[in-house]
Amino acid sequence: MNFIKNRKLEKIVDKYLDEIVSLEINSLPIRIEPEMAEKNSDKNQEWNNWFPIQSTITDIGLNFYIIMTCLS
């Protein structure tokens, strides 16, 4: 993906993630990975808040995932 398209997609995703957090609909009734978990949350709470983190996927990794998904 070229830089311009990648940046545009990143802005769209960030916009909607910000909206999810601002509307406080970023809770799930499951254990949240430590990187995404609310820092001072009660570990015994049934519902847990998650927060977006910086993506570490590359174009190569994304293409590999798409190919593998289509093959299964």
> What is the value of pTM for the model shown?
0.65
- Position 25 scores a pLDDT of 95
Residue 40 to residue 64: CA distance in whole angstroms: 36
Pairing of strands 27-28, 48-49: antiparallel
- Position 29 scores a pLDDT of 93
Ordered by start, the domain boundaries in the chain are 3-71
- Residues present in the chain in total: 72
Render pLDDT for 18-57 as a digit per residue (tens, 0 to 9): 999 999 999 999 989 889 998 887 778 889 999 999 877 7
